[in-house]
Structure formats: C-alpha cells, structure tokens
Amino acid sequence: SAVISQKPSRDICQRGTSLTIQCQVDSQVTMMFWYRQQPGQSLTLIATANQGSEATYESGFVIDKFPISRPNLTFSTLTVSNMSPEDSSIYLCSVEGGPSYGYTFGSGTRLTVV
Amino acid sequence: GQSLEQPSEVTAVEGAIVQMNCTYQTSGFYGLSWYQQHDGGAPTFLSYNALDGLEETGRFSSFLSRSDSYGYLLLQELQMKDSASYFCAVRDQDYGQNFVFGPGTRLSVLP
C-alpha cells in the first residue's frame, strides 16, 4: 500500500490566518481525499482532488474556505483559510489502494485555532 | 442520503471475543470497510466486504449481510493493544463511490 507523508503534524494558529497542509505520496495515485475529524468524532470528507482538474467538494465545504491544489499525481495541498476556532480539528489526506485495499491515510494534521 | 449506526462504546477483557456491529442505510451500496484508529493516530484499513459472508484475517473477521444492511467486525483473543476506535465505512455509488464513515465504536480492553 502507498505511504503518505503529511505535514505539519500539528499547528496552533491565530484566527483570521491560513494554514496549508501538504501530503506527499510515494506512488502515483489518481485521486486524493481530504478528511476532517473533530475530536472524538468520525471522519467527514471535505473534497476529492484529481490531478489536472478542480477538486470536488462535499456539501458544507467550499473552495474559498478550503482551496486544494493537485499539481501532480503524488502531491496535494489543502489550505484552511481565514481560520476560526471552529476550524480546530484533525485534517487527514488519504489515497485509495484499490477496492479491496481500502484507504491509506496520512498521519494527520492537528490544528488548533486560537 | 446515507446513514450508519454503530454502538458508541464496547468493553471486553483480554482474551475474550468481541463483536462490533454496523447498520447502514444507503441506496447505492457497493461495500463495507472497517478501520481501526488508536488515539492520536491515523485510521488503519482492516477489511472490506463487497459480498455477503465472513472474511477472516488473523484475529479479525468481518461479516456482511447486504439483505439486512448489516455488518460486524469480530475480534478474537483480545489484546490490550486492540483498545481503539473502530469505524465502519460504506462505499456508496450515490456518494461518488467514496466512503461514508460511521460514528465509530470505542473499544476498551481490560486486563
């Protein structure tokens, strides 16, 4: 299965600022997924990122707030813009290893907005 | 839309067997996955069932009944390291074939 390097692992940010999270995969993948996980909660899909096209956002998530880049088949970034304390959460990227292999997740970025 | 239900907490003792259930409602069901997540860690893929029946991988088994919209994860010979949250996730055609995650079951293994 793929190996994902995600950074930063954690950050504390001031409200109103932006943070960009990076994910690097050790193999080429068609789709990358960005999830949010609030403390003690389940995972919620933010968007799906395909190389060479606009990301597809799920209901409740918009590009202006969570812009995503996918410049090649091994890399993606998620930016959390104009942050507020409600954005405090864990953000995870993932890739699919095939229908029987499930998703592989990055180690996550624990974001605290103060 | 989709909805998944899992018990919020389960407690068992070392060496025992525990079953964690997942019921789902979805109109475009493809398959059911299970993930383990330790505190502070990332989710780790455990299993995927697309067809009815039981899949076994070591101490872990996963079961699916498509007619009942129900599945479970069975852990045998429980170890302390199995204490974690376990999420079921449905692959849904109506969700772009992406996975929708359940609320998760927190398993506590006692000595």
Is B102 within 8 Å of chain A by CB? yes
Measured between CA atoms, the residue of chain B closest to residue A102 is B45
Rounded CA separation A4/A44 (Å): 19
Confidence at residue A96, expressed as pLDDT on a 0 to 100 scale? 86
Position B22 scores a pLDDT of 98
* Model confidence pLDDT, tens digit, residues A72-102: 999 999 999 999 999 999 999 999 876 676 8
State the DSSP H helix or E strand holding residue B16, giving kind and residue range, or none if neither.
Answer: none
Do residue A44 and residue B102 have CB atoms under 8 angstroms apart? no
- What pLDDT does residue B2 have? 76
| Optimal mutation site among B46, B48, B51, B60, interface A, most CBs of chain A within 10 A | B48
Q: What is the residue-wise DSSP string for B37-101?
A: E-TTS--EEEEEE-SSEEEEETTEEEEEETTTTEEEEEE-S--GGG-EEEEEEEEEGGGTT-EEE
At residue A67, the pLDDT reads 97
What is d(CA B105, CA B73) in angstroms, rounded to the nearest whole number?
11
Q: For chain A, list residues with pLDDT below 70.
A: 98-99, 101
Residue A65: φ, ψ to 5°: -85, -35
Extract the residue ranges of chain B whose pLDDT is less than 50: none
- Residue of B24, B88, B97, B99 best to disrupt the A interface, most CBs of A under 10 A: B99
d(CA B5, CA B70): 10
- The two beta strands, B60-65 and B70-75, are antiparallel
Tell me the shortest Cα–Cα distance from A72 to chain B, in angstroms.
21
Do B78 and B11 touch, CB atoms closer than 8 A?
no
Among A42, A48, A104, whose Cβ lies nearest the Cβ of B101?
A: A42
Contact B48/A33, CB-based, under 8 Å?
A: no
Q: State the pLDDT at residue A98.
A: 67
pLDDT of B19 reads 98
**What dihedral angle (degrees, nearest 10) is formed by the CA atoms of B94, B96, A96, B104?**
-40
Residue corresponding to tokens 């995650």: B101
- Residue A17 pLDDT: 98
